[in-house]
Chains A and B, each alone.
Chain A
Amino acid sequence: MRTVLLAEDETFVAGFYKKTLESHGVAVSIVSNGEEALQAIKTQHFDLLLLDLLMPVMDGYQVLAQLKKDKIRIPVTVVLTNLSQPVTKEECKALGAEDYIVKSDSDAEDVWEKVEKYLPHEGG
């Protein structure tokens, strides 16, 4: 089964993303800050990291910086944001992520559609 780590401090919002992704056969683990995210990454393999940028304790930017520093490679990171940046894929790549999703512009199904593009094919 494909696995996604969802780092999102707003549990209400996180719940919707988890429910939708799970309805498409993906296993989702939720963490609510950057520290927990790094911890989870160290202990388990994930096919994709959905990373909120604004979180308490340690934010998404710091997580990406730490992953780069520790040379930990996650297959794909997609950044979740409600900020006015990043605006382009280039800015994402500079941060260390593949793509970004503006939360207020997206339904949970839209998030699934984007995530599906980057997940390995089922059975692989």
Chain B
Amino acid sequence: MANEHPPMSIADLLRSTPEGVVLFDRDRMVIMANPVAAKLTGLPSEGFSLSEFIRLFQGKIAIDLEKTIEQVLANGKAAHIEEVCIVSFFYEMFIAPVFDAAANVTGGFILLRDLTKEKVLTKDLEKFKLAVDNVSDQIIITDPDATVLYINDATEKITGYASKEALGGKAGKLWGNLMAKSFYENLWKTIKIDKKTFVGEIVNQRKNKQKYTALISISPILDEKGEIEFFVGIERDITKEKEIERAKTEFVSLASHQLRTPITAIRLSLESLQQRSEQLNLPLDDIEIISRAKAYANGMSRTINTMLNVTRIEAGETKVVPTEVSVEQLLTEVWQAFSTEVQNKHQSLSIDCAPMIHRTDASLLREILNNFLSNAIKYTPDGGKIRLHAQKERGDTLHMDVEDTGSGIKQEEQKKIFTKFFCGGEMLTLSKGGTGLGLYLVQSIVTLLKGRVTFTSQPGKGTVFHVFLPPLP
């Protein structure tokens, strides 16, 4: 038999609808109020009168609800109240007449649409927008073709372009276009093709043509299918920081030069005395004094070099110049440079390295060795042993290690030794005169040379530092 469905009534429909419904007759008697209406108004689900309903809104909405209902019943025209807030709910209210078949108004109904979720979402959105608008970094949103969709206040301020001037334009044409073509090609490839975040420094120009340096981070935002919906760019104006960096480099260069002049005179003087010590028949004590003084002068020179190198590397100015380096020759040169210090402490310095060539930057490699050796000598007691070793490993990687029989590095300090200005030990350090820059510099150089640095250390026994350097192209 057809139509085997259970009978459904209008009452069932009203009870099940997601909107709140209050049905009333011409005498303003509530015929039916569904559970949603009760929930949205807080009125009892068993039933309530229209007066109770109207009283609920007294003073809470601008319009006179009683009068509106009267008018709806009298004129047969619906009324709409956009937003009502009762208890913690937000909703939209419709008040409409009910007609019979003969088009007579027999009553009316109130429809309540719950807007709470949308409202909360909008409030959250407003909060985010406020945050984004007021943050000091630039935030720029573009479509997948780099057409500007939104710029925040900071962007207006920094670029000099008002929102309406920028919207619809291309980010690249507005404040960009100063970098090399390859820079933009790389940027575009990263965000559009690789769909990855691009981070880098860029030089842009303001509306008044004034240039500024910014640190930018541009991320593609993907939809569920993995397609790019838009790009979000965050930019920070670092012009000031760059100026400070430049001033710092200039100052260190100037100071270094000023210091190098007297150091030159001192070391040459001491060298001369050393050479003449036999002629002068100097007692051993005096020969020792001259030797020590020379070692200190050498150390001063090295410290200046370290400071200069650190400044340069931090400013990104260090150039890597790969050449075919004779490793055993380099080790020998470094060994010779430290011979005075080693002799002074009666330490033994040995080299274990077969003749080998490695393609790398000679002066940077020398700087790494200088720092390791300087530390090894400093932290190894008189009579101790230091060994320089190098060998080639898989992939033509150069593995160098500097091993000492020194005081070692305490367990709790091992994580920190590569950080800037870190000097191991308590009072021990201040008397040994470390700058805390040596290992920090080594780490920076090794990173630049695309290598790795590791170490093992046993307090009281000694330390071995390992450097692994791939051949440079």
Tell me the chain A residues, 47-97 only, with Cβ under 8 Å from chain B: 82-84, 87-88, 90
**B170 located at the interface, meaning its Cβ lies under 8 Å from any Cβ of chain A in the complex:** no
Contact B265 A13 (CB under 8 A): yes
A117 to chain B, nearest CB (A): 13
- Asked, given contacts A87-B363, A104-B260, whether A19 binds B272 with beta carbons under 8 Å apart, the answer is yes
Are B301's CB and A105's CB within 8 A? yes
Of B265, B308, B363, the residue contacting A12 (CB under 8 A) is: B265
Instruction: From known contacts A16-B271, A104-B301, A108-B268, infer whether A90 and B256 are also in contact, taking CB-CB under 8 Å.
Output: no
In the assembled complex, which residues on chain A have CB atoms less than 8 Å from the CB atom of B203? none
Q: Which residues of B contact A109 (CB under 8 A)?
A: 271
CB-defined contacts of A22 to chain B, threshold 8 Å: none
Interface string of B439-462 (1 = CB under 8 A from A): 000000000000000000000000
Q: Which of B259, B260, B269, B321 is most buried by chain A, counting CB atoms within 10 A of its CB?
A: B260
With A83-B257, A87-B363 already in contact, the answer to whether A104 and B304 are too (CB < 8 A) is yes
Given contacts A104-B263, A104-B304, contact A88 B319 (CB under 8 A): yes
The number of chain A residues with a CB under 8 A from chain B is 19
A10 within 8 A of B: yes
Interface size class of chain B, counting residues whose CB lies under 8 Å from the partner chain: 20 to 34
A107 within 8 A of B: yes
Residues of chain A lying within 8 A (CB to CB) of residue B321:
88, 90
Q: How far is the CB of B46 from chain A (nearest CB, A)?
A: 90
> Bound state CA distance, A90 and B269, in angstroms?
31
Residue from A102, A103, A108 in contact with B272 in the complex, judged by beta carbons closer than 8 Å: A108
B242-279: which residues lie under 8 A (CB-CB) from chain A? 253, 256-257, 259-261, 263-265, 267-269, 271-272
List residues 413-428 of chain B with CB under 8 A from any CB of chain A: none
B305 in contact (CB, < 8 A): yes
Chain B residues near A13: list those with CB within 8 A: 264-265, 268
How far is A88 from B364 in the complex, measured between Cα atoms in Å? Answer: 11
Q: Chain B residues near A19 (CB, 8 Å)?
A: 272
Q: Is the CB of A10 within 8 A of B261?
A: yes
The answer on a CB contact under 8 Å between B257 and A16 is no
Give A100 Cβ to nearest chain B Cβ, in Å. 11
Q: Across the interface, do B253 and A107 meet the contact criterion of CB distance under 8 Å?
A: no
CA of A107 to CA of B294, assembled, Å: 10
In the complex, chain A residues 97-120 whose Cβ is within 8 Å of any chain B Cβ: 102-105, 107-109
Tell me the smallest distance from the CB of B301 to a CB of chain A, in Å. Answer: 5
Known A-B contacts A10-B261, A103-B260, A105-B305; A83 and B253 likewise in contact (beta carbons under 8 Å)? yes
Q: How far is the CB of A124 from chain B (nearest CB, A)?
A: 26
Question: Scoring B residues 301 to 344 as 1 if CB is less than 8 Å from chain A, else 0, what string do you get?
Answer: 10011001000100000010100000000000000000000000
The CA-CA distance from A12 to B263 in the complex, in Å, is 12
Residues of B at under 8 Å CB distance from A?
A: 253, 256-257, 259-261, 263-265, 267-269, 271-272, 301, 304-305, 308, 312, 319, 321, 363
Give the 3 A-B residue pairs with the shortest CB-CB distance, closest first.
Answer: A82-B260, A104-B260, A16-B268
